[in-house]
Amino acid sequence: MRWLTLALVALVLAGYMLWNHCLQPSDKVIVKYAFTDLFEQQPQKNLMMGSSSIYRLQESQLACGSWLNRGIPNSQIKDLMVYLKLGTLQNAPENILLYAGENDLSQGRTVAQTYQSYLAVIERLKLDYRTATIHVIAVKLSPKRSAYWAKFQALNRLLRELSSTEPMLHVHEVSYPVSSYLSDGIHLSRAGYDVFLSKVNSACL
């Protein structure tokens, strides 16, 4: 019994070292989410996923009931796929909100690569949650990232075309006034989130 206890302690310590020294910040968030989803029943009826724009989002600004926030700061679409591969929610969501791609394109990935990653995530969501409606918010034209606007617009166009062939997929394109952004020119203000969510809130009611 004593050896079993020591072995468990050693395992916990090894896990702690791995957590703190080997994983990237986004990996730590993903692992935390996966453990929470596995061991705790989530009562929320809707799911939101994406990068910092989702992570910073306040649930109170969303309509259509309760939401489970699975935003991953500074993430790319591949990080969302890692999270999805680690398991499914015990309660299948009715609506899924997805915002991603801005970091991919501004961090060196091509439009084609980003779009293929998006397709993979959407296909996985369709497989795991067959009755869910997927709401994609088009990539915003953040002032600080004006050098990538052409890429953002190209990805948005591909997503819009995809939605025309997928009945459960809705792509929401929104125009943001300059006042929508914080001083960093990337992240949204409280007023900016009202714009960000305006079409999603209307569509899912």
Q: What is the CATH number of the domain that holds 185?
A: 3.40.50.1110
Note the pLDDT tens digit of each residue in 131-173.
Answer: 999 999 999 999 999 999 999 999 999 999 999 999 999 999 9
- Percent of the chain scoring above 70 in pLDDT: 88
The residues, any chain, with a CB within 8 Å of residue 75's CB and separated by 6 or more, are: 26, 29, 50, 51, 52, 100, 103
Note the pLDDT tens digit of each residue in 102-121.
Answer: 999 999 999 999 999 999 99
The helix/strand/coil state of 164 is coil
- Residues 19 and 28: beta-carbon distance below 8 Å: yes
How many structural domains is the chain composed of?
Answer: 1
Domain for residue 4, yes or no?
A: no
Q: Which residue segment(s) compose the domain that 83 sits in?
A: 27-204
Domain for residue 1, yes or no?
A: no
- Split at pLDDT 50, 70, 90, the class of 38 is confident
pLDDT for residue 5: 53
pTM equals: 0.86
Domain for residue 194, yes or no?
A: yes
- For residue 182, give the amino acid letter: L
